[in-house]
Amino acid sequence: MNAKRPVIYAGQGVHYAQAWPQLKRLAERLAIPVTTSLGGKSSFPETHPLSLGSGGLAVPRAVPKFLAEADVIFGIGCSFTETNFGIAMPKGKTIIHSTLDPNHLNKDVEAKIGLVGDAGLVLDALLEEIGKTVTADRDASAVAAEIAASHKEWLAKWMPKLTSNDAPLSPYRVLWDLQRTVDIANTIITHDAGSPRDQLSPFWRSVEPLTYLGWGKTTQLGYGLGLAMGAKLAKPDKLCINVWGDAAIGFTGMDFETAVRERIPIMSILLNNFSMAIELKVMPISTEKYRSTDISGDYAAMARAFGGYGERVTRPEDIVPAIKRGIAKTREGVPVLLEFITAKETEVSRPGT
């Protein structure tokens, strides 16, 4: 309660405990900014003035900024595992770590205070204790203005890519238009490993719990397709989307036929740049000798051959109409694959950029 620059870091345990209301109440009562892991994304509404956003390897600029300036970091429902695909915790901070698994404590990040318990029960206890001395929400206007300014500056840097009219398409333009076309609150979205994860997660602003199936610490390709199908079976009233690339579809793309056969009307967003673009810098020799990063295929035609709806999009002005057609088809019970022909984009929103 006496910290000057606290930050809350919420993990997947908040989802397991369904502790979303308590997390929001704690943040508002003490005017604390909130960030989440990829697994914890959507546990706190990212349109909230106290939201820093979430991320893994790629993050909104506000996340590393506020963590670097924090004096206390409160991790709730998280493991604080150090990974290249997670948020790096700065050294020298006072860490309060609440987790259900005691093996997480001091595993990778040293905690000054460790709390073991269900995230909801821990937050309930904290709120009860805080309520004895803090009886009204603290003024969050200053910190909210600081967060808003950071977001504005960061988005201004990325807006040329997010609104690009280039062809081949910018993957950022595709995902920016997607977010502005669907009903966010009634959409469940997941990514794949690699570029789709890093291009989607910093910019997608979740507003309802369990509407973003984020995952990190692993890089297996093709995982998102099954996640989207599972989400649709669990929540048939939601629009369920997986975002993947041409490398990922090479691993599990044949299972789009499963979606058709089992009548699971997901919408699959394929970013096809005919390349493992993110690997170009680390695989120059094999690329030159064996074309290891080159990939080809007409995946919209594949979707149609399976009995689903497939459409290839090459022009920026066709992005939104194609998405709207895809949504309409899912409402008819038809699985959809929208194939966007994109540029070989390798820039992601890393800390310091």
Measured distance CA(40)–CA(34) in Å, rounded: 11
Residue pLDDT, tens place only, 325-347: 999 999 999 999 999 999 999 89
CA distances from 315 to 159, 162, 174, 319, 321 (A): 18, 15, 10, 7, 11
Which residue carries 């966010």 as its tokens?
184
- Which pLDDT score, from 0 to 100, does residue 55 have? 78
Superfamily of domain 163-341: Thiamin diphosphate (ThDP)-binding fold, Pyr/PP domains (3.40.50.970)
- Which pLDDT score, from 0 to 100, does residue 280 have? 58
- Which pLDDT score, from 0 to 100, does residue 56 have? 87
Percent of the chain with pLDDT over 70: 94
pLDDT-derived band at 35 (thresholds 50, 70, 90) equals very high
What is the DSSP code (8-state) at residue 255?
G
Residue pLDDT, tens place only, 126-164: 999 999 999 999 999 999 999 999 999 999 999 999 999
Higher per-residue pLDDT: 320 or 216: 320
CATH value of 6-148 in 3.40.50.1220, 4.10.140.10, 3.40.50.300, 3.30.70.3460:
3.40.50.1220
Fold agreement between 6-148 and 163-341 = yes
Q: Enumerate the domain spans of the chain.
A: 6-148, 163-341
- Which pLDDT score, from 0 to 100, does residue 290 have? 55
- Which pLDDT score, from 0 to 100, does residue 275 have? 72
Residue pLDDT, tens place only, 235-278: 999 999 999 999 899 999 999 999 999 999 999 999 999 776 56
Residue 220 pLDDT > 80: yes
Residue pLDDT, tens place only, 271-310: 999 776 566 566 666 666 655 566 678 999 999 999 999 9
Predicted TM-score (pTM) of the model is 0.94
Measured distance CA(249)–CA(221) in Å, rounded: 8
